[in-house]
Amino acid sequence: MGMNTIGCNFHSRSWVWAAVAWAAFLQAGCGNFLVPKHRVSVDAICAAGIAPPAGQSFRLVARKSILVQGQVNTGVISACVGAALAHVGMFEAPAIAPPDIIIEVSCGQEAGSRIDPSSRETYLELSARPNRARAMESSREAEIWNVRVAVHGLVGRIETALPLLSAVASSYTAKDTRFSTMIEVPQNNASITAVREAAMKTLDAKGAVAPTGPAAPAAAK
């Protein structure tokens, strides 16, 4: 499967800001209306004997379908997922160093004229493979964990949901839910805020390096 390294760009930052505005639209009923909640479906699997990934280095690669469909800005994906993984103790491998694990990222939204907008799924999926061969951007080893998270009825761009989806996905890395389950996440959850703020800082820093616009993703080796 062809994969491309995910990069960030200067113009992506506005989508992360938009997540603040979007939060009011995606809520579930709860006992206290002053604390609205997001309903997120989670489906996580993990191979036996896999330890929590804290302390491991990673590299994110985009599943080819993301680039073909063009539904979402890969710079925002990279910033949000990277921030969320850092929040649980992982770190992105330097560009010149091979990572401990390679994480393939898929993100998108159900398409079709017959889909009810109120039930349309917006999802993020992370698939991790070990990198014992010390490759730079790909791994042929078996998947060790996978987590897929989704929300329904998103109002606005896919990017606005990424701080939430990334924060939830990172909390289920190397875990097994056994089946798809629905959880409720308070809108003011500290992890979502931390991911959003860290992602904005990353996008700002990338913009300072390449202010003229987005760079094309590097081709997989």
Higher pLDDT, 45 or 116: 45
Contact 8, 204 (CB under 8 A): no
- The helix or strand, by DSSP H or E, that contains position 63, with its residue range, turns out to be strand 57-63
8 A C-beta contact, residue 161 and residue 19: yes
- Percent of the chain surpassing pLDDT 70: 76
Element (H, E) at 16: helix 13-22
Length of the chain: 221
Q: What is the pLDDT of residue 67?
A: 60
Extract the tokens encoding 129. Answer: 């493979």
Rounded CA gap, 34 and 27, in Å?
Answer: 11
pLDDT of residue 24: 44
Give the mean model confidence (pLDDT) for residues 197-206: 92
Mean pLDDT to the nearest integer, 128-142: 92
Average pLDDT of span 78-87: 96
CA 106 to chain centre: 8
> 219 pLDDT band (50/70/90 cuts)?
very low
pLDDT at residue 17, as a whole number: 55
Query: Across residues 178-200, what is the average pLDDT?
Result: 94
Residue corresponding to tokens 């309903």: 39
What confidence score (pLDDT) does residue 16 get?
56
pTM of the model: 0.78
Block residue for tokens 């009011």: 24
Range with lowest mean pLDDT among 33-42, 72-81, 199-208, 209-218: 209-218
CA 88 to chain CA mean position, Å? 13
The pair of structure tokens assigned to 82 is 């990277």
Nearest CA-CA partner of 82 in 96, 62, 110, 52: 62
Of 88, 127, 103, 144, nearest to 6 (Cα)? Answer: 103
Q: What is the pLDDT of residue 156?
A: 83
Using one digit for the tens of pLDDT, what is the confidence trace for 46-64?
999 999 999 999 999 988 7
Report the 10 Å Cβ neighbour count for 88. 17
| Separation of alpha carbons 168 and 44, rounded Å | 11
pLDDT higher than 50, residue 2? no
What SS3 class is residue 25? coil
Per cent of the chain over pLDDT 90 is 57
β-partners of residue 167 are none
pLDDT 10s digits, 4-33: 555 545 455 565 555 544 544 444 444 456
